[in-house]
């Protein structure tokens, strides 16, 4: 399969992958892997999906971050997770299937009006995503596209995304570097830089999404809101209630009070389009954070969870960790999923 696809012009950049901010430079077509651990792009699943924006959602396997809270951990950390994926799918065939689904009675009844690329992180498969969009627009030039991103991509990749997308859902977890690293294994500065770029294209932004994790990033709510308000107070923001998952499977879910408080803080910062979503008040057990590599309390707590899962590199720096290809976080097997 690799030999057959290696001649496709739109895949050639995978010989020296520079798609995300890790800029690993590995030859993915020759079997090398970087931080995302993905060679050829792999489809995890695809189907009509009712979540806003209603869409035909295509989940791509692999992720360039190693977030402790991941609800799609078996997709994001494939193949280390042991999860099952659909695998390689011809872009033209997938595009035909997607457009047909959007035009179907079920798609129309749902109000699905676009392709939605998620994961994992679709940035790890950006050339493939572009090809699917190209093929879909050969069938229907008016095909809309949403791109769901953790923001950890190069400016050049972001510019490509801006060129083909109709809407972008953009995750911001923290402003503070320590909290972002402890939670995701990567620095915050590229994400914030890219958020600033997206803010310059407000017509492209569906919303900034902020996952609220009690005790870990709740002190980041105000800095995040102020950061967004300084860009443009009219930008839409959705707070997502944390659900216990993956390495944080036993951590308490966000409370209803915390979600209301997040919206109140956002309004106090001047944001005008704010709401929250999700299922609050899921039970869990609080632990004491004492990871000494971090001085910020939320980062100490997240780092403690990462240590318990086997992570030895603190502050976390996943692409440069000696365990990057044998990562205990990527292979972590939670006992529950909410």
**Predicted confidence (pLDDT) at residue 308 exceeds the cutoff of 80:** yes
pTM of the predicted protein model: 0.96
pLDDT on residue 7: 61
Give the integer Cα–Cα distance in Å for 64 and 76: 8
Distance separating alpha carbons of residues 63 and 82, to the nearest angstrom: 14
- 169-184 tens-digit pLDDT: 999 999 999 999 999 9
Which residue in 297, 103, 280 sits closest to 182, CA to CA? 297
pLDDT digits over 19-66, tens only?
999 999 999 999 999 999 999 999 999 999 998 999 999 999 999 999
- Contact yes or no for 20/56 (Cβ under 8 A): no
Domains (range + CATH), the chain: 2-320 (3.20.20.70)
Nearest to 40 by CA among 82, 87, 83: 87
Confidence of residue 2 (pLDDT cuts 50, 70, 90): low
Residues 6+ apart with CB under 8 A from 149: 121, 122, 123, 161, 168, 169, 170, 171, 194
Question: Rounded distance, CA 307 to CA 315, Å?
Answer: 11
Q: pLDDT tens for residues 109-154?
A: 999 999 999 999 999 999 999 999 999 999 999 999 999 999 999 9
Edge-to-edge strand order for the sheet containing 43-49? 43-49, 55-60, 114-118, 144-149, 167-171, 205-212, 236-241, 273-277
Taking 90 as the threshold, does the pLDDT of residue 98 lie above it? yes
Parallel, antiparallel or unpaired: strands 43-49 and 55-60: antiparallel
Q: Rounded mean pLDDT of the chain?
A: 96
Query: Is residue 5 predicted with pLDDT exceeding 90?
Result: no
Q: How many CA atoms lie within 13 A of 272 on its CB side?
A: 6
Check: CB of residue 179 under 8 Å from CB of residue 299: yes
DSSP secondary structure code for residue 219 in this structure: G
CA nearest to 302, candidates 172, 187, 220, 213 = 213
pLDDT above 90: residue 321: yes
Angle 72-174-205 (CA atoms, 0-180°, nearest 5)? 75
């Amino acid at each position: 399969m690799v030999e057959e696809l290696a001649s496709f012009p739109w895949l050639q950049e995978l010989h020296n992958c520079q798609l995300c901010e890790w800029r690993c430079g590995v030859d993915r077509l020759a079997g090398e892997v970087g931080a995302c651990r993905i060679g050829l792009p792999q489809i995890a699943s695809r189907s009509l999906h009712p979540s806003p924006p209603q869409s035909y959602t295509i989940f791509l396997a692999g992720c360039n971050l190693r977030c402790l809270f991941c609800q799609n951990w078996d997709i994001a950390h494939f193949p280390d997770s042991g999860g099952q994926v659909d695998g390689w799918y011809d872009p033209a065939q997938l595009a035909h299937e997607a457009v047909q689904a959007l035009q179907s009675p079920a798609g129309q009844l749902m109000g699905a009006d676009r392709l939605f690329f998620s994961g994992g992180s679709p940035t790890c498969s950006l050339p493939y995503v572009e090809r699917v969009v190209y093929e879909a627009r050969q069938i229907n030039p008016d095909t809309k596209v949403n791109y769901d991103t953790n923001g950890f991509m190069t400016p050049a990749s972001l510019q490509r995304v801006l060129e083909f997308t109709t809407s972008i859902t953009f995750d911001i977890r923290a402003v503070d570097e320590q909290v972002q690293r402890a939670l995701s294994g990567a620095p915050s500065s590229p994400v914030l830089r890219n958020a600033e770029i997206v803010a310059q294209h407000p017509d492209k932004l569906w919303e900034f999404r902020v996952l609220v994790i009690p005790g870990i990033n709740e002190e980041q709510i105000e800095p995040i809101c102020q950061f967004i308000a300084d860009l443009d107070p009219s930008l839409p923001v959705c707070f997502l209630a944390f659900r216990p998952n993956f390495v944080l499977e036993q951590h308490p879910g966000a409370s209803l009070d915390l979600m209301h408080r997040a919206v109140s803080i956002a309004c106090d910062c001047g944001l005008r389009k704010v709401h929250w979503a999700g299922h609050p008040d899921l039970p869990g057990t609080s632990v004491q954070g004492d990871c000494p590599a971090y001085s910020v309390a939320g980062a100490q707590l997240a780092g403690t969870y990462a240590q318990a899962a086997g992570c030895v590199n603190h502050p976390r720096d996943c692409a440069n960790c000696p365990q990057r290809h044998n990562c205990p976080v990527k292979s972590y097997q939670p006992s529950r999923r909410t």
